[in-house]
Chains A and B, each alone.
Chain A
Amino acid sequence: MSFTLLIVQTLNGLQFGVLLFLIAAGLTLVFGVMDFINLAHGVQYMLGAYLAVMFYALTGNFLIALVAALGAALLFGLLLEFTVFRHLYDRDHLEQVIATFGIILFLNQGVKVVWGAAPLSLPIPEILSGTVVLSPGILYPVWRLMIIGSGLAVALILYLLVSRTRVGMLVRAGATHAPIVSALGVDIRRLFMIVFGFGTMLAAFAGVMIAPILSVEPGMGDSVLILAFVVIVIGGIGSMRGAFIAALLIGLVDTLGRSFAIDILRLVMPPSPARTVGPAIASMLIYVLMALVLYFRPAGLFPAKGR
């Protein structure tokens, strides 16, 4: 367990955390502002990846594919909002869960019909496909650094948007006192639509950025969705800052846990049982973390004010 390995694994954890943040940010906005549980959020991440693959095949340019995929994902998100979600805002949570779960089934099957069940792939843009040498023999892919960088940039932009702009102010107000905001003459439906579209685009952006690393396949959003919910629960529902901190925390805990659990257990038990127990403990860690946070701070680490 060398120092370099620790650094590399921390980078890996950051990269995972940033990715989770991109997904959880949209989810916490939609959940916080509109009190709407959108299970279909993970599907939008999947859709972003598929759209990028499609546009890349058409244009052969990653940047164009990225922009086109974001645009198309936004349009599709708004279409969903208009046709389905809009009618669910006033219903209770159970009905929202059932309806949006239906969307998951529908879209997972839909991408299979359109693009087939076989996994697809998106190449890394040529100039970013290399590796950097962290220390002799330890390489790190530039693309993963790129994900960290772009994720942090998005976090910064979000922070400025939410805390410094008029729309951001309305979003914050809407999260805590939606009826009052509405009474003051703000078109809350339109605000909801903007928030929803933006959240969709963030999820799609995460999908595009991860597509060169993971295979693009039906159902790829389902496992991420659960983690995104864990993130917003730990961070405090509706809190952007909470989502950011919680996402990084989960990314680091999960990655460092996976890579060092066995080594740490070996100090206290023989290697063979350590090998069996280690992975089991590692995959439990984030849920243990969630349980602890909920026990000590039931509203999450950074609860949105007024909730």
Chain B
Amino acid sequence: MVKLLSSVAVMALMIGSAQGPAFAQEKLKIGVVTTLSGPAAVLGQQLRNGLQLAIKDNGGKLGGREVELFVQDDELKPDVAVSKAKALIDRDKVDFVVGPIFSNILVAIMKPVTEGGAFLISPNAGTSNFAGKDCNPHFFVTSYQNDQNHEVMGKYAQDSGVKKAFIMAPNYPAGKDSLAGFKRFFKGEVADEVYVPLGQLDYSAELSRIAASGADAIFVFLPGGMGVNFVKQFRQAGLADKVKFLSAFTVDESTLPAQKEAALGFFGGANWAPDLNTPQNKKFVESYKKEHGGAIPATYAFQAYDAGLLIDGALKATGGKTDNKDALRAALEKAPFTSLRGNFKFGTNHYPVQDFYQVKVVQVGDKFATSIDKKVFTDYTDPHAKDCKMK
């Protein structure tokens, strides 16, 4: 009996010590789901680098707690992403998952992560369903709603007097959203609306159509390697002098190292550019360059950096505690941090309310970067927020 009692006591002690003084020392566990293989690996690396930099700039801590990162490669395959996200929740017991880059991955990992009790913070993908009717209390976005960068270009095309536009995107949901977003603000004539297979590399057939269509501008959404190829071929086909090049996610710091001069003077829509004039942004760009051999950060890195700052700010507000999810959620909703982009707050759907710019590709020394040309929207809320009934 004594033996039994003492072993119960020991057990109680063990359980007690496991739970007791935990919060001060226990590491904050953050999972990262991002694309690190295949042609889109560059984007995923930017995401990871941005988050790592945010943690480093905070002395290895977020919200006063040491951070342990669990980085997972989703291979741009939804099924792989789901099993890795589940492992992050069940095996590694992470409190936050930061990621992913691509919308189809976001849709796949939403349930496993949020129903597993962690907060999902997307530093890039922001689909319309999660901004609207499927909005989720445990999901936050530090980037934008997917439609918005396309809307920026539509508005710009409308305001700058484009008469006839040729528009093109990959044949998948985000591609359709893209062209719909552009047309929401562009009221001129659409010469043609073309959907190409996702991952197409040679655009000879489409370029010939563009030339024959007599359009005075094109708008394209061709992320990653697709954009690299298209921009080069567009320039080679001699169209750059005749047709205005408008784009979203097609010319940015992740693709410019390969596009170089071919993209000079081309336009994009964005919520940020490396030369955005805020003191915190200047510091970020400098320290990113120093860390990565002079490479200029793209939006993916900056949005992941902001995701790090968001976690830091929210945890500071809860005293480093993550066990009370409601308190943590309330803290996150206040967006208690100074975003690199300056103006930033969350809408009711946990998507950012922010400014958008038309950016232009310029040469900086021997490198190429986007540069802010003109502000197009101020404190812009995405068009789906009104459909969100946040519980």
Q: Tell me if A4 and B212 are in contact (CB < 8 A).
A: yes
Chain B residues within an 8 Å CB radius of A5: 208-209, 212
B8 within 8 A of A: no
Q: What's the nearest-Cβ distance from chain A to residue B152, in Å?
A: 24
Chain B residues within an 8 Å CB radius of A2: 212
Bound-state CA distance A148–B233 (Å) is 16
A229 within 8 A of B: no
Bound-state CA distance A121–B42 (Å) is 15
Chain B residues within an 8 Å CB radius of A283: 197
Chain B residues within an 8 Å CB radius of A153: none
Q: Tell me if B195 and A213 are in contact (CB < 8 A).
A: no
Q: What's the nearest-Cβ distance from chain B to residue A52, in Å?
A: 15
Dominant secondary structure of chain B at its interface with chain A: helix
B259 within 8 A of A: yes
Binds B, one of A72-80, A81-89, A135-143, A295-303: A135-143
Nearest neighbor of A260 in chain B, beta-carbon distance: B205
CB contact between B197 and one of A129, A213, A217, A279 (< 8 Å): that residue: A279
Bound-state CA distance A4–B214 (Å) is 14
Contact A118 to B257, CB < 8 A, known contacts A138-B208, A217-B39, A258-B205: yes
Chain B residues within an 8 Å CB radius of A212: 232, 236
Chain B residues within an 8 Å CB radius of A4: 212
Bound-state CA distance A280–B198 (Å) is 11
Q: Tell me if A217 and B225 are in contact (CB < 8 A).
A: yes
Q: What's the nearest-Cβ distance from chain B to residue A282, in Å?
A: 8
CB contact between B204 and one of A120, A137, A220, A255 (< 8 Å): that residue: A255
Nearest neighbor of B231 in chain A, beta-carbon distance: A215
B174 within 8 A of A: no
Contact-residue size bin, chain A (C-beta under 8 Å from the other chain): 35 or more
Bound-state CA distance A219–B75 (Å) is 13
A182 within 8 A of B: no
Q: Mark out the residues of chain B between 182 and 200 whose CB falls within 8 Å of any chain A CB in the assembled complex.
A: 193-197, 199
B20 within 8 A of A: no
CB contact between B238 and one of A124, A141, A258, A280 (< 8 Å): that residue: A141
Binds B, one of A7-15, A63-71, A91-99, A183-191: A7-15
CB contact between A119 and one of B39, B196, B211 (< 8 Å): that residue: B39
Q: What's the nearest-Cβ distance from chain B to residue A216, in Å?
A: 8
Bound-state CA distance A141–B41 (Å) is 30
Q: What's the nearest-Cβ distance from chain A to residue B329, in Å?
A: 36
Q: Tell me if B236 and A259 are in contact (CB < 8 A).
A: no
Chain A residues within an 8 Å CB radius of B257: 118-119
Q: Mark out the residues of chain B between 155 and 197 whose CB falls within 8 Å of any chain A CB in the assembled complex.
A: 171, 193-197
Nearest neighbor of B199 in chain A, beta-carbon distance: A223
How would residues 109 to 152 of chain A score, 1 for a CB under 8 Å from any chain B CB and 0 otherwise? 00010000111110010000101000001111101100000000
B258 within 8 A of A: yes
Bound-state CA distance A120–B256 (Å) is 10
Chain A residues within an 8 Å CB radius of B259: 121
B286 within 8 A of A: no
Nearest neighbor of A255 in chain B, beta-carbon distance: B205
How would residues 198 to 218 of chain B score, 1 for a CB under 8 Å from any chain A CB and 0 otherwise? 010110111011011010000
B358 within 8 A of A: no
Bound-state CA distance A65–B377 (Å) is 48
Q: Tell me if B42 and A119 are in contact (CB < 8 A).
A: yes
Q: Mark out the residues of chain B between 221 and 239 whose CB falls within 8 Å of any chain A CB in the assembled complex.
A: 225, 228-229, 232-233, 236-239
A218 within 8 A of B: yes
B38 within 8 A of A: yes
Chain A residues within an 8 Å CB radius of B260: 121
Nearest neighbor of A2 in chain B, beta-carbon distance: B212
Bound-state CA distance A215–B233 (Å) is 10
Nearest neighbor of B44 in chain A, beta-carbon distance: A117
Q: What's the nearest-Cβ distance from chain A to residue B222, in Å?
A: 12
Q: Tell me if A214 and B208 are in contact (CB < 8 A).
A: no
B255 within 8 A of A: yes
Chain B residues within an 8 Å CB radius of A143: 236
Chain B residues within an 8 Å CB radius of A50: none
B58 within 8 A of A: no
Chain B residues within an 8 Å CB radius of A223: 199, 201
Q: Tell me if B228 and A141 are in contact (CB < 8 A).
A: no
CB contact between A121 and one of B193, B202, B258 (< 8 Å): that residue: B258
Contact A137 to B211, CB < 8 A, known contacts A215-B258, A279-B197: yes
Contact A119 to B208, CB < 8 A, known contacts A16-B202, A213-B229, A279-B196: no
What 5 A-B pairs come out closest when comparing CB atoms?
A12-B204, A215-B228, A119-B258, A117-B41, A131-B238
A residues lining the B interface (CB < 8 Å)? 2, 4-5, 8-9, 12, 15-16, 112, 117-121, 124, 129, 131, 137-141, 143-144, 212-215, 217-220, 223, 255, 258-259, 262, 275-276, 279-280, 283
Q: Supply 6 A–B pairs (Cβ within 8 Å), ascending by A.
A: A12-B205, A16-B202, A119-B255, A120-B258, A131-B237, A279-B194
B residues lining the A interface (CB < 8 Å)? 38-39, 41-42, 45, 171, 193-197, 199, 201-202, 204-206, 208-209, 211-212, 214, 225, 228-229, 232-233, 236-239, 254-255, 257-260
